[in-house]
Chain A
Amino acid sequence: MSDTAATLTQDRQKLEMAALSAPAVVFTVAMIAFPVVYTIWLGFQTFSSTGKQSFAGLANYSKLISDVEFWHGLWITIALFVLSLALQLVFGVWLALVLFHAKRLPGIVRSLFISPFMMPPVVAGMMWLVILDPSLGAANYILQSFGLPPSDWLASPTWVIPTVALIDSWQWTPYVALIVLGGLQSLPPSVYEAAQIDGASPFKTFHRITLPLLLPTIVTAAILRSVDLLRFFDIIYITTQGGPGNASNTLNIYGFRVGFEFFNIGYASALMLTLTAIVFGAVLAFNRLRGAVAW
């Protein structure tokens, strides 16, 4: 076959491939791009209380800078993110180590350990709402049985964020543990054999070998949880709706209320795009970190 004929055949094959994959590409682009572009467009619109729409330019974004509720929501979002992520990574690694070393643990016990994250967040929220009810819930009953003072849990402006972080960590720590467990199982046994020969203590083995080798896996788990934690919504919506006062009013909850309760879709879109940018920023930062700790 001549070069020209071969090139023509290759071109035809490329065209065929493009034609065959076009519907899937168009569908995917439409499903992803359209909502994003539409939201960007909405962010430049203003809606009156009666739903009347007009072009607002950057007004929604300049409003955002002077909006006390936005900055408060951002602070709450970051506080919840840091606290929950720290709890989930620490306890997730611990749970993974327990599951990894407890070879004789029956399958059903392992399944029970990891079952919370399979529960729908709405169910988890409702369940914890009942348990933490200061008057009727089991949590205060248990505290008082041990002679400890009762807590207002979700009704206390001081304790609401730690309580929500605990609920989320109860649900998602097993998920982190599963990812870390996968990482543990893939670590090279030869390194541990060498450490054993050198007489390294279990703590030193963990500190000097396991943890550094696991870091890329832990960062991956952190990326996956970060995306969810920065968009935290369901459990707060079920348990506190952003209260008491504004004590748990994350950016996502605030944006939802602005859009769907006060019908200001334009400003809500600007809020949500800002949150999206923050999520992207966090993912990029973690990705760089993952690159730095790769081995």
Chain B
Amino acid sequence: MKARMLATHVALPVFAIAAASAPAHAADFDWMKFKGKTVTFLANNNPVAQALLTYKADFEKLTGMTLKVDAYQEQQMRQRLVTVMNANSDEVDVFMTLPSREGEQFAAAGWYGDLTTMARNEVAKDYDPNGLSQALLKAATFNGKLTSMPMNIEGPIFYYRTDIFKKCGLEAPKTIKDVEAAAEKIKTCDGAVTPFVSRGLKPAIAYTFSNMLHNIGGTYIASGKSNLCSAKGKEALDTYSRLMRDFGPPGVVNYSFQQISALYRSGRAAMAFESSNELRTVMEGGARLKDTGLLPFPAGEAGQVPTTIGWGMAVSSHSKQPEAAWYFVQWATSPEVQKKMALQGIAPPRPSVAKDPEYRKWIDEEPVRKEWQAALDVLATKGSSEVGYPIVANPESREFIGQAVQDLILKQKPVEQACADADKALDALIARK
């Protein structure tokens, strides 16, 4: 099965069609239409929501509505959502969602409200729905229904220390083989730093591993069966785990974004493959501002197929006030708010915001921000939203990918056995209805 590509040239102009009749309704649009109502927002307490909620008072002033925020860490947010949705409760009006992870599952369960009509008929004049990334809108469209509006664009990118590379006589890597060669050289050239670090925590591995698999030319599914034991699949498993085992920090199997950012920011890692969202965290304190280079992950035999995803805002299908909820979604994904969020380091899912002079000025202030934006541009044009298996049980599939990688990092199984065990479990998942 082909990766769910995000590239704009292959994306259907789903939303452009839907938005064609929008201006006819824009004149009647009144932000105060639902004055006095209270909208409940179930938020993931990540940098995206934190940046958005800085402007909570602006929304309440603009609409006369009250925004009740229910914020949790990512996993706890999903736990709360599952409880609320299984109980058919209307407690949550709007929730944050990752279409690449749970989109198929939530859409099949009927948890997403259909935004197609509201996004066509209930839009403010300056909302510019056509300005949102058509590719991300396509990734959030299931069975012809638009299920969420994009809040940001993100994906794993390659952070490297320019000073260490210079000291060790290395060039910026162009291929995965270059990364491994650089790690080998850094190991002897500067023994004080960890040459390479990426995600090793089991459920988190798929986010970065998928990029390597796709760059190498592998696929998760072929002819309806799990494909990790294909030559490319085994190569990806072997390369990723070898980089982590031979050049990663001790205890890398417990590493997710917090540990990776902390290690790189403290100057103890030469290369890190981690989310573009972590730029702000990595640059905190300014120690890495002048000695960091950023790139999309170097190419494999299939070139560069970066992982590109985005958080979205969805309206609950159980909400008793979907229109009022939509007003909040619309405000949160409007050009004005997304520009403000972009100035806080949240990559905008709107090309127009990315080109905005004020944003460009912010980008131009630091070379590292320029490289960050350049990497994001590659993510936006070449990316794949396939993180884990493109099946309803996607979250569970990530467990088995992670298990195979951890088995190899910890040398508990040879690659043939690790991939065969994973394929067996994943075939059962694929077959499950």
For A153, A239, A262, A263, the residue with the greatest tally of chain B CB atoms inside 10 Å of its CB is: A263
Residues of B within 8 A of A140 (CB): 250
Return chain A residues, CB-CB under 8 Å to B399. Answer: 257
Nearest A residue (CB) for B248: A135
Q: Measured between C-beta atoms, what is the minimum distance from B265 to chain A in Å?
A: 11
| B268:A260 contact, CB within 8 angstroms | no
A244 interface hit (Cβ, 8 Å): yes
Q: Known: A49-B433, A136-B262, A260-B79. Is A245-B251 also a contact (CB below 8 A)?
A: no
A51 nearest in chain B by CB position: B109
Contact across chains for A136 and B395 when beta carbons are under 8 A apart: no
Cβ of B363 within 8 Å of any chain A Cβ, yes or no, is: no
Asked if A133 is at the interface of the complex by the 8 Å CB criterion, the answer is yes
The distance from the CB of A176 to the nearest CB of chain B, in whole angstroms, is 29
Asked if residues B108 and A49 are in contact (CB atoms below 8 Å), the reply is yes
Binds A, one of B171-179, B305-313, B367-375, B405-413: B405-413
Interchain CB contact (< 8 A) of B105 among A49, A152, A243, A259:
A49
Query: Hey, which chain A residues are within 8 Å of B85, CB to CB?
Result: 51
- Contacts A244-B406, A263-B82 given; indicate if A50 touches B108 (C-beta within 8 A): yes
User: Residue-by-residue, is B242-255 near A (CB-CB < 8 Å gives 1, otherwise 0)?
Assistant: 00000001111110
Of the residues A136, A150, A156, contact of B268 by C-beta under 8 Å = A136
Q: A49-B393, A51-B109, A261-B395 are in contact. Are A157 and B249 (CB under 8 A)?
A: no
Q: Quick check: is A217 within 8 A (CB to CB) of the other chain?
A: no
Kindly supply a per-residue 1/0 record for chain A positions 153-165, scoring 1 wherever the CB is within 8 Å of any chain B CB and 0 otherwise: 1111100000000
Judge if A84 is at the interface, Cβ distance under 8 Å: no
Contact with A243, one of B78, B263, B395, B406 (Cβ below 8 angstroms): B406
Instruction: Indicate which residue in A48, A246, A257, A260 contacts B433 across the interface (CB closer than 8 Å).
Output: A48
* Closest B residue by C-beta to A151: B250
Whether the Cβ atoms of A243 and B432 lie closer than 8 Å is no
Contacting A245 at CB < 8 Å: which of B75, B109, B412? Answer: B412
Q: Is A240 an interface residue (CB 8 A)?
A: yes
Complex contact B251–A49 (CB within 8 A) = no
CB contacts (< 8 Å) of A262 on chain B: these are 393, 395-396
A49-B105, A243-B406, A260-B78 in contact; A155/B254 too (CB < 8 A)? yes
Min CB–CB distance B219 → chain A (angstroms) = 21
The answer to whether B266 has its CB under 8 Å from any CB of chain A is yes
For window 61-91 of chain B, which residues contact chain A by CB distance below 8 Å?
Answer: 75, 78-79, 82, 85-86
Q: How does the 8 Å CB contact mask read for A132-157 relative to B, with 1 for contact and 0 for none? A: 01111000100000000010111111
Task: Assess whether A265 is interfacial by the CB under 8 Å rule.
Answer: yes
Q: How far is the CB of B226 from chain A (nearest CB, A)?
A: 16
Pick the contact of B263: A51, A135, A259 (CB < 8 A): A135
User: What B residues does A134 contact at CB under 8 A?
Assistant: 249-251
Q: How far is the CB of B325 from chain A (nearest CB, A)?
A: 21
B73 to chain A, nearest CB (A): 11
A150-B395 contact given A135-B263, A245-B403, CB 8 Å threshold? no
Residues of B within 8 A of A50 (CB): 105, 108-110, 392
Contacts of B251 in A (CB 8 A): 133-135, 152-156
In the complex the two chains form, is B268's CB within 8 Å of A244's CB?
no
Question: Is chain A's binding surface mostly helix, strand, loop or mixed?
Answer: loop
A77 beta carbon closer than 8 Å to chain B = no
Q: How far is the CA of A129 from the CA of B93 in the complex (A)?
A: 36
Check A226 for interface membership: any CB of B closer than 8 A.
Answer: no
A157 to B203, CA, bound (A): 17
CB within 8 Å for A136 and B266 given contacts A49-B393, A157-B412: yes
Q: Is A241's beta carbon under 8 Å from chain B?
A: yes
Q: How far is the CB of B389 from chain A (nearest CB, A)?
A: 12
Q: Mark B393-432, 1 if CB is under 8 A from A, else 0.
A: 1011001000100110010100000000000000000001
Q: CA of A150 to CA of B111 in the docked complex: distance in angstroms?
A: 48
User: How many Å lie between the Cα of A157 and that of B410 in the bound state?
Assistant: 8
Tell me which residues across on chain A come within 8 A of B339, comparing CB atoms: none
In the bound complex, how far is the Cα of B202 from the Cα of A241, in angstroms? 9
A48 to B393 alpha-carbon distance, docked (Å) = 10
Q: A52: which B residues are within 8 A, CB to CB?
A: 109
A239–B432 CA distance with the chains assembled, in angstroms: 31
- Of the candidates A49, A52, A242, A245, the one having the most CB atoms from chain B within 10 angstroms of its own CB is A49
Q: Does B50 contact A (CB under 8 A)?
A: no
Contacts A135-B249, A155-B250, A241-B203 given; does A260 touch B393 at CB 8 Å: no
Most B CB contacts (10 A, CB to CB) among A50, A133, A140, A265 go to A50
B268 — which chain A residues lie within 8 A by C-beta? 135-136
B194 at the interface (CB under 8 A from A): yes
Pairs across A and B, CB under 8 Å, 19 listed: A48-B432, A49-B392, A49-B396, A50-B110, A50-B392, A133-B251, A133-B259, A134-B251, A135-B263, A135-B268, A243-B201, A243-B202, A244-B406, A244-B410, A245-B412, A260-B75, A260-B78, A262-B395, A263-B82
Known contacts A152-B251, A244-B410, A262-B396, then 8 further A-B pairs from the complex at CB < 8 Å, ordered by chain A residue: A49-B105, A50-B109, A51-B109, A152-B250, A243-B202, A243-B253, A243-B406, A245-B412
Which B residues are within 8 Å of any A CB, using their own CB?
A: 75, 78-79, 82, 85-86, 105, 108-111, 194, 201-203, 249-254, 259, 262-263, 266, 268, 392-393, 395-396, 399, 403, 406-407, 410, 412, 432-433
| Nearest 4 A/B pairs, CB to CB | A155-B251, A134-B250, A50-B108, A134-B251
